[in-house]
Amino acid sequence: MSKQVLLIEDEPNIIEAISFILSRDGWTVKTHSNGADAVDMVRERQPDVVILDVMLPGKSGYDILRELRDDPDHGDMPVLMLTARGQTKDREIAERAGCDAFMTKPFSNADMLETVRTLAAK
Amino acid sequence: MPRDTLTGSRIRERRVMAGIKQSELAKRAEISASYLNLIEHNRRRIGGKLLVDIASALGVEPTSLTEGAETTLLATLREAASGAGISTAELSRVEEFAGRFPGWAGLLADSQRKIEGLQQSVEALTDRLTHDPHLAESLHEMLSTVTAIRSAASILAEPGDIEPEWQRRFNRNIYEDSARLAETSRSLAQYLEESESDTTETSAPQDEVDTLFQRFGFHLPDLEGDGVDVDAVVGDMASHASPPAQWLLHRALTRYRKDALKLPLELCAKILPQTGSDPLALAAQADTDVATAMRRLAHLPDTMLPAPVGIAICDGSGVTTFRKPLPEFPLPRLGAGCALWPLYRALARPMMVFEDRVEQSTRIAAHHRAIAIAQPLHAPVPGRDVLFESHMLIVPEPKEQSDDGVLQVGLSCRICSQSDCIARREPSILGVSEERRF
């Protein structure tokens, strides 16, 4: 069975591009666009890797990550954070919240693929 | 403490201009030439009869030798020096510099003011990404769109076959996103252009308001009497000012108007001959609060008072919200003043009147009475804390009085020479040696 990525992102065209790249590489990609119930979705899907955007409607990516990390079942789930602002401050917040990897938009497809592979291998 | 009255320099200047020899002037004033030499180099204080004698020997008014607008100039020059690492020896000659080259000194002080204004603008702009939600949102939108375009474009650009169905989809996505990007960037450019034209003046809003009060004076006849339109007065005074400055001015003038209604000019004219510049007596006689009386005194025509009075108003954070400096009692243009001022002490005990005779360490010999009170900023709300603001009225005192009981205060720490000051928050640049040891 192929490994599963849950992409939590609200930009339709970014969702389409990432889904395409990862699917082509053999991943099963599930997507979700709302922050408010994103944590429930992670619990339900049990993905191998979560790609999490910071700016989401309903709830910020940082808060979602913190909730996941506080949950014993998902404390070590690999999470890749995406943010549109590459300031050191954002990276620090993301790292403190417990993300495994951090990418700033715009990213290259190759980097995205590489990072997701690395995270899944952990 | 630095010597800082320029009286000696002015005497020398006037004497040289008049082509009188030092010995000749000394003879006319009935003092020794060497003593006059000390005076001319600001090494001896001069006042009273001798000053009058020298003035008449030079054919000038005594006040023209003792007074001047240098206080603010000197303070600004010291501020300018503080950033430049000028040696203490040079710094101690700042008054000589201002006295001998008034034009150059003025130019330097102007530049210093402009630099401070620009620094504020830079800070505001640096913080803009954090504090301007529109800008942050636009940037986020642009970066998201660029991300989608980049991903889709590189999928299409990669070698290898992509199904025609997917090709069409990504082509369409790129087309849509590029249209969106064009729109976002256009509106961002427009927004930046507009906000640029908003602030053609690079100075801080508070500076603009200060300049307006300097130009129009603190007494505004248009706000007295009947049929007053505050909006129109703001329009007349500040049509070219930035919106933040207009907002500040509007707030100040609205308050002025309210005070003028409580204490009309005719009433003040009746009371003031008995009370002088005493805000407590004025408040009691006019049945109003002390802070209102202070503000009113600061906005009355100079001719109604024994001498013009200054005022500083600060909010609970200590930031000056309104300032009327006096020639001999400058107020800091940015940030807070000296923590020893009753203005700030009053905040710790609201409604209690603090009164001190003060001498600013940068202005020896100039004494002022500083009266301060912190009053509620608004009507009380049940169960809620009240916010206070502090007022300090600055009333010049005759110089002849003794030094007894005079509180030594500063202007701001960097240009204050008081050693062993418990209120010091940063080192002085005036070579207060013991302060440099940590």
Which of B 164-183 lie inside 8 A of A, CB atoms? 166, 169-170, 173, 176-177
The whole-number pLDDT of residue B184 equals 86
Tell me which chain A residue has its CA closest to the CA of residue B173. A13
Q: Kindly list the residues from chain B whose CB atom is less than 8 angstroms away from the CB atom of residue A84.
A: 139-140, 143-144, 147
- Beta carbons of A13 and B152 less than 8 Å apart: yes
Q: What is the pLDDT at residue B68?
A: 58
pLDDT for position B433: 45
Query: Which residues in B lie closer than 8 A to residue A108 (C-beta atoms)?
Result: 150, 154
| Residue of chain A whose Cα is closest to the Cα of B146 | A106
Return all residues near B281 (Cβ < 8 A) that are at least 6 apart. B271, B274, B275
Residue type, B399: K
Q: 82-141 in B: which are within 8 Å (CB) of A?
A: 139-140
Please tell me the predicted confidence (pLDDT) of residue A105: 87
Nearest to B173 among A13, A108, A112 (CB): A13
Shortest distance between the Cα of A7 and any Cα of chain B, in A, equals: 14
Task: Return per-residue pLDDT of chain B as tens, 438 residues.
Answer: 334 467 887 788 778 877 888 899 999 888 888 889 888 887 787 877 888 888 888 887 777 777 655 667 777 888 888 777 777 778 778 777 887 888 888 888 888 888 887 877 777 666 666 666 677 778 888 888 999 999 999 888 887 778 888 889 999 999 999 998 988 888 888 877 776 555 444 567 888 888 889 889 999 999 998 888 999 999 999 888 888 899 999 999 999 999 999 999 999 999 999 999 999 999 999 999 999 999 999 999 988 998 899 999 999 998 889 999 887 888 877 667 899 999 999 999 999 999 999 988 765 567 899 999 999 999 999 999 999 999 999 999 876 666 678 888 888 887 777 778 899 988 776 654 444 444
Query: A46-94: per-residue pLDDT in tens?
Result: 999 999 998 888 888 888 999 999 888 888 899 999 987 656 677 888 8
- Distances in Å between the Cα of B394 and the Cα atoms of B263, B277, B280, B298, B331 are 19, 10, 13, 9, 11
Bridge partners of B324? B311
Structural element, H or E, at residue A4: strand A4-8
How many Å is the Cα radius of gyration of chain B?
29
Q: CA-CA-CA-CA torsion for B57, B61, B67, B70, nearest 10 degrees?
A: -80
Cβ distance of B173 and A107 shorter than 8 Å: no
**How many whole angstroms from its chain centre is CA A55?**
12
User: What single-letter amino acid sits at B122?
Assistant: V
Distance (Å, whole) CA B52 – CA B145: 79
Fold of B7-119: 434 Repressor (Amino-terminal Domain) (1.10.260)
Give the bridge partners for B389, in sequence order.
Answer: B375
- Residue B420's pLDDT is 83
In this structure, what token pair is assigned to residue B55? Answer: 């003035």
**Per-residue pLDDT, B435:** 40
Which residues lie below 8 Å from residue B88, measured CB to CB, with a gap of 6+? B430, B431
Asked whether the beta carbons of residue A16 and residue B169 sit closer than 8 angstroms, the reply is yes
Give me the helices (H) in B158-289, please. Answer: 164-198, 205-216, 230-238, 243-262, 265-275, 279-286
> Residue B105's Cα: distance from chain center in Å?
19
Domains of chain B, residue spans: 7-119, 128-198, 204-262, 268-436
Q: Is A110 helix (H, G, I), strand (E, B) or coil?
A: helix
Residue B9 and residue B99: Cα distance in Å, rounded? 6
Domain count, chain A: 1
Task: Kindly report the nearest CA distance between residue A79 and chain B, in angstroms.
Answer: 19
pTM of the model: 0.57
Walk across the sheet containing B406-409 and list its strands.
Answer: B320-324, B310-314, B388-396, B367-376, B354-360, B406-409
The answer to whether residues A32 and A18 touch, using CB atoms and an 8 Å cutoff, is no
What residue has token string 């010999």?
Answer: B365
Chain A contact set for B158 (CB, 8 A): 109
pLDDT band, residue A27 (cuts 50/70/90):
very high
- Largest Cα span, chain B: 109
Instruction: Show the domain range for A112.
Output: 4-121
CATH number of residue A51's parent domain: 3.40.50.2300
- Backbone dihedral angles phi then psi of residue B429, each to the nearest 5 degrees: -95, 5
pLDDT of residue A58: 85
Angle at A101 between CA A97 and CA A105, to 5 degrees: 100
Residues of B in contact with A18 (CB under 8 A): 151
Tell me which residues of chain A have a C-beta less than 8 Å from any C-beta of chain B: 11, 13-14, 16-18, 20-21, 55, 84-85, 105-109, 112
Interface ipTM: 0.86
Question: Looking at residue B365, what is its pLDDT?
Answer: 61
Q: What is the separation, in whole angstroms, between the first and last Cα of chain A?
A: 18
Q: Which residue of A has its CA nearest to B175?
A: A13
Q: Considering only CB atoms, which chain A residues are within 8 Å of B146? A: 105-106
Cβ-based burial of B304 (10 A; exposed 0-12, middle 13-18, buried ≥19)? middle
Please count the residue pairs, one from chain A and one from chain B, whose beta carbons lie less than 8 angstroms apart.
Answer: 57
Closest residue in chain B to residue A10, using alpha carbons only: B144
pLDDT value of position B130: 62
Give how far A113 is from chain B: nearest CA, Å. Answer: 12
pLDDT at residue B122 in the model: 76
